[in-house]
Amino acid sequence: MKGRFITFEGSEGCGKSTQSRLLYQFLKRKGYNVVYLREPGGVRISEKIRKILLDPDNHIAPLCETLLYMAARAQVVHDVIKPALFKGRIVICDRFLDSTLAYQGFGLGVDINFIRRLGSFATERIKPDLTIFLDLPIKKGLRHRVLFKDRIEKRSYQYHLRVRKGYFKLGRLEPKRIKIVRVDADMRQTQAKIRELVEKHVL
Ligand code: TMP
């Protein structure tokens, strides 16, 4: 595949969406053909699945939750990500398979190898060329979410700690692909670090 695939990961409130959008605008200004998506979501069906997943009134078993995230992913990979990469575009995705490994695997205890096997079907074996893991201490991140918390944000501090530790483990397993960027108080500085990594590893 000719295109390039960049994903963003991180725990709650780390500024992932802002930073990934800033990168999208930067690459577009430079003249690249870029597609921007978020997960779960990006296409109609996956956005509907997102609503189910984040609704605090839903009680969803860990396996069902894992399968729903994978189902949302399979649709967006099929409809958008794969075709865009074939056409040589740059795809930026706010979250991807590493989120399921961190949140459902390390966070909820769903078998990691099972998630990897399921993931290789759902993603049609498409892997990011670069994954930016935006790291922010859990307490700082959750502080941003005081008025409304979705089903996942409502989980315990200990749960979110396991997710963060899970990301570090994933980073240690694949240091070439997963780059840890500490979130800076000044968002322009964080963005500068991200652009440097993208210019070095992707462009
Ligand atoms: P967002 O807040 O970054 O848009 O992501 C939605 C929530 O879904 C967030 O709490 C992380 C969670 N999530 C998982 O638990 N597993 C996954 O596979 C994905 C993609 C997201």
Residues with Cβ within 8 Å of residue 147, at least 6 apart in sequence: none
107 CA closest ligand 1 atom index: 15
Bridge partners for 92 per DSSP? 6, 36
What is the phi-psi region of residue 83: left when phi exceeds 0, alpha when psi lies from -120 to 50, beta otherwise? alpha
Domains of the chain, CATH where assigned: 4-201 (3.40.50.300)
pTM reported for the whole predicted model:
0.97
Strand bridging mode 4-10 / 130-135: parallel
pLDDT of residue 142: 73
Half-sphere exposure of 182 (CA within 13 A, CB side): 3
Q: Is 40 in the pocket of ligand 1 (CB under 6 A)?
A: yes
pLDDT of residue 173: 98
- The answer to whether 42 and 83 have CB atoms below 8 angstroms apart is no
Angle in degrees, 0-180, between the axes of helices 112-122 and 62-76, rounded to the nearest 10: 30
**Which residue type is seen at 103?**
Y
Please tell me the total number of residues recorded for the chain in this structure: 203
Query: What are the backbone angles phi and psi of residue 105, rounded to the nearest 5°?
Result: -75, -75
pLDDT of residue 91: 98
Q: What's the gap in Å between 174 CA and the centre of ligand 1?
A: 21
pLDDT of residue 145: 66
Q: What's the gap in Å between 176 CA and the centre of ligand 1?
A: 23
Tokens of 76: 């967006």
The residue written with tokens 């990301």 in the block is 167
Q: Give the residue whose CA is nearest to atom 16 of ligand 1.
A: 100
Per-residue pLDDT of the chain (203 residues; tens, 9 = 90+): 799 999 999 988 889 999 999 999 999 999 999 999 999 999 999 999 999 999 999 999 999 999 999 999 999 999 999 999 999 999 999 999 999 999 999 999 999 999 999 999 999 999 999 999 999 988 888 776 667 889 999 999 999 999 999 999 999 999 999 999 999 889 999 999 999 999 999 99
CA distances from 73 to 11, 38, 41, 92, 183 (A): 19, 10, 8, 14, 26
